[in-house]
Structure 1
Amino acid sequence: MIHEVDEALRSLIGTRALPGVITDIQFDAPTRNWAARRNSPTVNVYLYDIREEVAWRERGAVAVRDKDGKIIARRQPPRWFRLSYLVTAWTTRPEDEHRLLSALLILLLQHEAIPRDTLTGTLAELNVSIPMSVAVPPSESRSIADLWSALGGELKPSLDMVVLAPFVASAEYPVGPPVLEETITVRDRRGEIVDSATRDYRNRLP
């Protein structure tokens, strides 16, 4: 799932934030050595933290439907995880970096969820909204300065972006065919049939 979120963010940033200006989108750790190799305007989207959103955990099986809406299997609901990204802009001039960050902030603020047309693979198949937030103070104590120190680089303006992504952790279990008719039979004490009625459910199928 993480790689699918990465590809969705690459598509979103690459096509909607200053098209033609951002020539490179990277997901590497922005270390000092990495920064020294940059020779074109680059946006770095570094995944630095993964934590389960425990409050979103659900219980009970959910239905899996085919393209016609019929239930074909059941599975446990997905588990949701917070993917925290450090978003930075890299050019030769601080003013250009600030311009890129401004464009990125405007773009990301316009979307409370990752646009569905950028989703692929399992994320697209689940057909759920993927919430996204940017520059929101984290709920727990976390220092961006400490993160830069761990990376061995110099403190740099950045955007803290959080994506809530679903992870399917259980296999699908096929279900039996739908019930098409039901017959109720009444027998007497000797076991002989005294009454019988059949209900047809075919016209109730979606």
Structure 2
Amino acid sequence: MLTSARAVALASALLGSALPGASAGASVPDTAVLEFLGFRAGARLDELAQHLHSTGSGRMRCRQSRVDPRVNECRAALKARQFGGAVELWVSAMDSVAGVITLSGIPAPGQLEHWREELESRYGRVSPRTQGAQKMFQWVRRGRMMRLTWRVERGQKVVSVSLVDGRVLDSWGRTGAPPRGSPPQPASRTR
């Protein structure tokens, strides 16, 4: 039977090890935060803009949705030496918080394998999945998902990494329709 004193001691031991500076040993990485090249879903737009600035990349340009003013679609060109060419960054943000981030480009030779190894060492080994001509690895943690996808296009590997924060998307979905005065959503043209 667990007495009150033992329960408090156990809770203190468990919580104490989670506090910053509580352990002198090597720090264990937070694997719940899925991150790639310094980007993480759930980051605020100002954090993403600061990260772009710190990497010497271009400015992020955002457009507010005409259908739902809480939604911003943002784009940027990223400078990352690991990619052999231009890297496109797309962000879908709800109330200025990134729900979906996608980075896409052509990596330098051997870089895809390096990223896979690095991600598996941090988040665990996963089996590759194949959908048509593309292959992917996917990690899921506490409502967040990261997917490393690649396909061969014109003889070159094209890689994309998607970071999704399901909590941001769920929160946005639960808040209901856009505020009054927002223009109605156009009817689908595919019907």
Whether these two folds match at TM > 0.5 is no
More strand by share: 2
More helix by share: 1
The structure with the largest alpha-carbon Rg is 1
